């Protein structure tokens, strides 16, 4: 099968098109013929080696973190899927590889594709949908009537999170550039702050939850908009000790992560709020719930561009510009 692989970590090494063996499904696996795959900033970070301490992949590595396709074979213990099923998935973090014609995914990471969506639209959902769900619903426990700030509302995670938060019944503020203000309003944002001209921390206050997708200065300033007891959930880091525990990290790695997150945790404590790092995990069960919302027209995919499979390298470079509206997808079949 054709696939795009990383031979050595580092941006200058890029991706290589390669002929790779079709994976053999394990007893609890679903073998999927991939029709389309989402392209994410996470892919570039993995290629550059930013996660090699957390995710020690064996190279060469097939890149890619979400997909839509058709089941072609199932393992002996699989009960929920059969050949011919149209599905979508975010593979478990230690078994990525969606920039390829086939992938074998654990059954519990797979869900039936939303019937309302094309393969390309469905492939845009898993990683950003699960990130938004786990940040807002699972960790944030967002409720009707609460206030949430979602950074970078026109991006992949932001465009999904705005819609999910509005479905819950929250008041949603977001940051965006002037050219994307109309888009995020259409998605449901109540308050839109042009981050190039205005300071969100000077405008917003008494928020229950912040979903930070940026890290750095935006992360620290987000503490100031939260009310006492509020929650700051970051997906751009720094990772904390709780995350180290979740992934079963070594004592050394736990110590490193505790050190990396010390400053933001201390600042959060000073503001009487909490900071949590989120690295989204695979969940077929949550994808099924997301599919139901999409089929009920509560959430729609936002796709910037669809690239052909042979242009996967260009698709990743386009994502790295940081100027995409919603998601970028590669069409494989």
> How much is the pLDDT for 249?
85
pLDDT at 290: 98
**Domain of 172: which CATH number?**
3.40.50.720
Residue 14's pLDDT is what? Answer: 85
> Does residue 284 belong to any structural domain of this protein?
no
Does 194 share its domain with 258? yes
Q: Please tell me the distance from the alpha carbon of residue 245 to that of residue 247, in angstroms, as a whole number.
A: 6
Helices (H) and strands (E) in the chain, counts: 12, 16
SS3 category, 201: helix
Q: What is the pLDDT of residue 12?
A: 83
**Are 65 and 42 in contact, with CB atoms under 8 Å apart?**
yes
**CATH code of the domain containing 52:** 3.90.180.10
User: Is 294 contained in some domain?
Assistant: no
Q: Three-class SS of residue 233?
A: strand
Antiparallel, parallel or unpaired: β 303-308 and 327-331: parallel
Residue with token string 């393969």: 119
pLDDT at residue 136 in the model: 98
Show the tokens assigned to 211. 């979903």
Residues 121 and 142 in one domain: no
Measured distance CA(51)–CA(97) in Å, rounded:
15
Buried b (16+ CB within 10 A) or exposed e, 63-76: bbbbbbbbbebbbe
**pLDDT truncated to tens, each residue of the chain (333 aa)?**
999 999 999 988 889 999 999 999 999 999 999 999 999 999 999 999 998 888 889 999 999 999 999 999 999 999 999 999 999 999 999 999 999 999 999 999 999 999 999 999 999 999 999 999 999 999 999 999 999 999 999 999 999 999 999 999 999 999 999 999 999 999 999 999 999 999 999 999 999 999 999 999 999 999 999 999 999 999 998 998 888 888 888 899 899 999 999 999 999 999 999 999 999 999 999 999 999 999 999 999 999 999 999 999 999 999 999 989 999 999 999
Number of domains in the chain: 2
CA neighbor of 265 nearest in space, from 229, 312, 223, 235: 223
Q: Indicate the SS3 state at residue 186.
A: helix
Instruction: Determine, yes or no, domain membership for 295.
Output: no
Tell me how crowded residue 15 is: count the other CB atoms within 10 A of its CB: 21
Same domain, 225 and 175: yes
- 62 in any annotated domain: yes
Domain of residue 324 covers 2-125+301-331
- For residue 223, the surrounding DSSP H or E stretch is none
Pairwise CA distance, residues 110 & 71, whole Å: 10
| Residue-by-residue DSSP string for 104-146 | EEEGGGEEEPPTTS-HHHHHTSHHHHHHHIIIIIIIS---TT-
Torsion sign, CA atoms 116, 307, 87, 64: negative
């Amino acid at each position: 099968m054709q696939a795009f692989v990383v031979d050595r970590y580092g941006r200058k090494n890029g991706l290589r098109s390669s002929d790779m063996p079709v994976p053999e499904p394990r007893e609890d696996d679903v073998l999927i013929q991939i029709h389309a795959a989402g392209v994410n900033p996470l892919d570039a970070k993995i290629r550059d080696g930013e996660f090699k301490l957390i995710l020690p992949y064996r190279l060469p590595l097939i890149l890619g973190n979400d997909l839509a396709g058709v089941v072609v074979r199932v393992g002996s213990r699989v009960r929920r899927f059969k050949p011919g099923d149209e599905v979508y998935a975010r593979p478990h973090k230690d078994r990525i590889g969606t920039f390829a014609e086939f992938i074998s995914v654990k059954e519990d990471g797979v869900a039936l594709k939303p019937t309302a969506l094309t393969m390309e639209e469905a492939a845009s959902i898993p990683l950003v949908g699960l990130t938004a769900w786990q940040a807002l619903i699972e960790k944030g426990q967002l409720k009707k009537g609460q206030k949430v700030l979602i950074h970078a509302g026109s991006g992949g995670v932001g465009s999904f999170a705005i819609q999910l938060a509005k479905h819950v019944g929250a008041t949603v503020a977001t940051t965006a550039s002037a050219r994307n203000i109309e888009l995020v309003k259409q998605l449901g944002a109540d308050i839109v702050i042009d981050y190039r001209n205005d300071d969100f921390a000077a405008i917003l206050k008494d928020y229950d939850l912040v979903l930070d997708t940026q890290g750095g200065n935006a992360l620290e300033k987000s503490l100031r908009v939260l009310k006492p007891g509020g929650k700051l959930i970051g997906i751009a880091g720094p990772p904390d000790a709780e995350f180290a525990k979740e992934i079963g990290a070594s004592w050394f790695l736990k110590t490193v992560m505790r050190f990396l997150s010390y400053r933001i945790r201390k600042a959060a404590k000073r503001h009487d709020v909490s900071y949590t790092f989120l690295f989204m995990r695979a969940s077929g069960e949550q994808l099924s719930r997301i599919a139901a919302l999409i089929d009920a027209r509560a959430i729609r995919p936002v796709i910037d561009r669809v690239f052909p499979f042979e242009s996967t390298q260009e698709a990743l470079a386009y994502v790295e510009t940081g100027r995409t509206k919603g998601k970028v997808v590669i069409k494989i079949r």
